[in-house]
């Protein structure tokens, strides 16, 4: 079984993501373990990786998927990389439960 792609921090949840830009569709593909053992949420977006378009599409998509305000999401690392760290701002225990419920509902 693959582990979790997020961990609690003082001001929310820190998520480890792997993004594929210029894909056929915007989607959450899987939770996967990288070769180094890091667990990531693998996503794809149709936007091109130029001028922040793919990052903006990522935040817009996750905001809608998880019913969170875009202002409560902050890309903290990986702006120019496929590997990204996203901070979900809020009460860690509430956000954690929301993600766990989402994973169960979507069989992720």
Task: Give the chain's domain count.
Answer: 1
> Is residue 100 domain-resident?
yes
> Is residue 97 domain-resident?
yes
**Domain membership of residue 55 as a residue range:** 6-105
What is the CB neighbour count within 10 angstroms for residue 51?
9
> Is residue 40 domain-resident?
yes
pTM score, whole prediction: 0.91
Question: Which CATH number covers residue 95?
Answer: 3.30.1200.10
> Is residue 77 domain-resident?
yes
Orientation angle between helical segments 53-66 and 92-105, nearest 10 degrees: 80
> Is residue 13 domain-resident?
yes
Q: How confident is the model at residue 1 (pLDDT cuts 50, 70, 90)?
A: very low
How confident is the model over 33-67, as pLDDT tens digits? 999 999 999 999 999 999 999 999 999 999 999 99
How confident is the model over 69-102, as pLDDT tens digits? 999 999 999 999 999 999 999 999 999 999 999 8
């Amino acid at each position: 079984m693959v582990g979790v792609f997020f961990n609690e921090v003082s001001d929310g949840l820190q998520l480890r993501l792997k993004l594929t830009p210029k894909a056929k569709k915007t989607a959450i593909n899987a939770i996967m373990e990288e070769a180094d053992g890091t667990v990531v949420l693998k996503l794809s977006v149709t936007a091109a990786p130029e001028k922040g378009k793919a990052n903006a599409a990522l935040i817009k998509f996750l905001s809608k998927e998880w019913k969170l305000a875009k202002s409560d999401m902050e890309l903290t690392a990986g702006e120019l990389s496929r590997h990204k760290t996203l901070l979900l701002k809020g009460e860690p225990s509430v956000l954690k439960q929301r993600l766990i419920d989402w994973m169960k509902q979507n069989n992720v």
